[in-house]
Amino acid sequence: MTILVIAEHNNAALNAATLNTVAAAKAIGGDIDLLVAGEGCSAVADEAGKVEGVTKVLLADNAAYGHQLPENIALLVAELGKNYSHVICAASTNGKNYMPRVAALLDVDQISEITDVESADTFKRPIYAGNAIATVQSDAAIKVITVRTTGFDPVSAEGGSASVEAVSSAQDAGVSSFVNEELAKSDRPELAGAKIVVSGGRGMQNGENFEMLYTLADKLGAAVGASRAAVDAGFVPNDMQVGQTGKIVAPQLYIAVGISGAIQHLAGMKDSKVIVAINKDEEAPIFGVADYGLVADLFEAIPELESKV
Amino acid sequence: MKILVAVKRVVDYNVKVRVKADNTGVDLANVKMSMNPFCEIAVEEAVRLKEKGVATEVIAVSIGPTAAQEQLRTALALGADRAILVDCAEDLSSLAVAKLLKAVVDKEQPQLVILGKQAIDSDNNQTGQMLAALSGYGQGTFASAVDVSGESVKVTREIDGGLQTVDLKLPAIVTTDLRLNEPRYASLPNIMKAKKKPMEVLKPDDLGVSTASTVKTIKVEAPTARSAGIKVGSVDELVDKLKNQAKVI
């Protein structure tokens, strides 16, 4: 049994999500090959070779894979995947984009966002915005799976000594092309992997008030998230959204500020170790999941909290 | 051009679902059902493209139980021209749904197929991508802007770090993100008119598609409940608890 893990990267560095995905592969058991597909990404392959538990790194370096266009990547992964028992990757927007395409090309069902491995063919995954956990079993010859990275502790980025093997295949479906990208710039830790997350909701009232959360976050070394209400109102960009349709986080500490706690928001953060809610409405559903709740006006409580941590 | 929109009947997004006592699934008896929110956005986008003169016909299709006719009527009331129901079991896998949609695409030959990015019940986020793979079309998933011009469509996508724009040759598949648009409400006159719009009902067998799946659900459980903790009286107390009790800061 050999597992193909597809690495998440930006052509320059390996994304930490890959380490959680390799951990899921280890839980399944068997040899682990790591595929690095991109353009000018040999540095990533070298980094991938050092990841604990990886047997072999496959490097597909070609202009066709530069922007992870799913039409091209899926052809490559489906071609390589035929020789594996499992093909897995992180449930990032990239993974979610090309993996179902891979599954369809291999004519098997895909299992999305597993949070636990019971055995090589049985997995757990949340459904209904995390309000139910399904245990599913696959009898597909090739199991195509995406991994919710917060469900698995990352393996070490050091200690491995896998060889790097070049893959010459250059699949270009010729139906899509990359135009441009607008990436939000931030010095704070990445939301999905941060140990502490401070999130603001509609209660923040406007985008300027988020400065308070940024100051608090910087002091705590935290990432800043947001509810959908805050994103829709234009306070912050959408890549900060935590929830069923945004990012799923499970930090050590999640501080929800001015967030009521709708089902869709809870879906994205209720696996956090400690949840703190600061809200002036003591009936807010967020208090139903918070370990520590403070009923207070956030405009007074946040500056005070910032000065005291 | 012709646009096909796929819609799914799901439990209403405000409903707090309960897992059945025998762990076979969630209890959907007497629960409010609605059109999946992402599908509503897909219908809205198709109707807007028609209003802009880009599309000439909007066809709504649902793969689901007979009751999904309600959701198709809603799509018709929102502005779709006609509807197709592929009447089948409720819990098909995404691959089976994609295969049935592929058969409908082959039959109707739309230039653009718009789907929601995920259904809020199964949370799979697969069908659009699978349909794109089966038809060999380009895909613009998690779209927050769609711009059709000539023989191609530019799709702005919501990705982990921000936004990305891709250019796809038509015909293409687009899946909607929440920020693509704000769906309109159906007016009473439009709901009445929708009753007269044509609806075709097909069976998977008519389309020659097998809906067998390689994945089976063994059990469905409630997640470990998270109970409410304590309310603190002041910021000082909060900081003290975080430092000394939870030890997270």
Domain total for chain A? 2
Same domain, A203 and A267: yes
Euclidean distance between CA atoms B7 and B38, whole angstroms: 9
Interface test with B, best of A85, A176, A197 (most B CBs within 10 A): A176
Q: What confidence tier does A152 reach under pLDDT thresholds 50, 70, 90?
A: very high
A234-263: pLDDT as tens digits: 999 999 999 998 999 999 999 999 999 999
Euclidean distance between CA atoms B75 and B55, whole angstroms: 16
B123 backbone φψ class: left, alpha, beta (φ>0; ψ -120 to 50): left
Domain housing A99: 2-166
Please give the ipTM for the structure prediction: 0.95
For B67-79, what is the mean pLDDT? 98
B79-117: pLDDT as tens digits: 999 999 999 987 899 999 999 999 999 999 999 999 999
Whether the predicted pLDDT of B62 surpasses 80: yes
List, as ranges, residues 77-96 from B with C-beta within 8 Å of A.
93-95
How many contacts, defined by CB atoms under 8 Å, are there between A and B? 256
pLDDT of residue B228: 83
| B116: Cβ contacts below 8 Å, ≥ 6 apart | B6, B7, B8, B36, B37, B38, B39, B40, B41, B42, B128, B175, B176
Question: Of A166, A199, A226, which one is at a domain's C-terminal end?
Answer: A166
pLDDT of residue A281: 97
A248 assigned to some structural domain:
yes
Same domain, A103 and A6: yes
For B14-33, what is the mean pLDDT? 95
A66 assigned to some structural domain:
yes
CB-closest option in B129, B221, B222 to A100 = B129
Same domain, A145 and A22: yes
Determine whether the interchain pair B94/A105 forms a contact, defined as Cβ–Cβ distance below 8 Å. Answer: no
Question: Cβ of B141 under 8 Å from any chain A Cβ?
Answer: yes
Question: Cβ of B182 under 8 Å from any chain A Cβ?
Answer: no
Instruction: Report the relative pairing of strands B9-11 and B33-35 from DSSP bridges.
Output: antiparallel
Q: What confidence tier does A88 reach under pLDDT thresholds 50, 70, 90?
A: very high
**Chain B CB contacts of A173 below 8 Å:** 136, 138
Determine whether the interchain pair A292/B242 forms a contact, defined as Cβ–Cβ distance below 8 Å. Answer: yes
pLDDT of residue B164: 97
Determine whether the interchain pair B228/A294 forms a contact, defined as Cβ–Cβ distance below 8 Å. Answer: no
A25-51: pLDDT as tens digits: 999 999 999 999 999 999 999 999 999
Same domain, A162 and A197: no
Distance from CA of A213 to the nearest CA of B (A): 15
Read off the pTM: 0.96
Residue A302: give its domain's CATH number: 3.40.50.1220
Same domain, A146 and A206: no
For B131-143, what is the mean pLDDT? 98
| A21: Cβ contacts below 8 Å, ≥ 6 apart | A5, A8, A88, A89, A90, A147, A149, A152
φ, ψ dihedrals at A209, nearest 5°: -65, -20
A176 assigned to some structural domain:
no
Same domain, A136 and A207: no
Whether the predicted pLDDT of A185 surpasses 90: no
CB–CB of A191/B160 below 8 Å?
no
List, as ranges, residues 97-116 from B with C-beta within 8 Å of A.
98
A202 assigned to some structural domain:
yes
Same domain, A122 and A72: yes
A96-146: pLDDT as tens digits: 999 999 999 999 999 999 999 999 999 999 999 999 999 999 999 999 999
Same domain, A136 and A89: yes
Q: Which residues of A280-291 are buried (b: 16+ CB within 10 A; e: fewer)?
A: eeeebbbbebbb
Euclidean distance between CA atoms B142 and B147, whole angstroms: 14
Q: Which helix (H) or strand (E) holds B221?
A: strand B215-221
Residue A101: give its domain's CATH number: 3.40.50.620
**Chain A CB contacts of B137 below 8 Å:** 175
Whether the predicted pLDDT of A184 surpasses 90: no
For B171-189, what is the mean pLDDT? 97
Question: Cβ of B197 under 8 Å from any chain A Cβ?
Answer: no
A175 assigned to some structural domain:
no
User: How far is residue B157 CA from its own chain's centroid?
Assistant: 16
Question: Cβ of A119 under 8 Å from any chain B Cβ?
Answer: no
- Residue corresponding to tokens 């659900």: B217
Same domain, A6 and A90: yes
Distance from CA of A63 to the nearest CA of B (A): 15
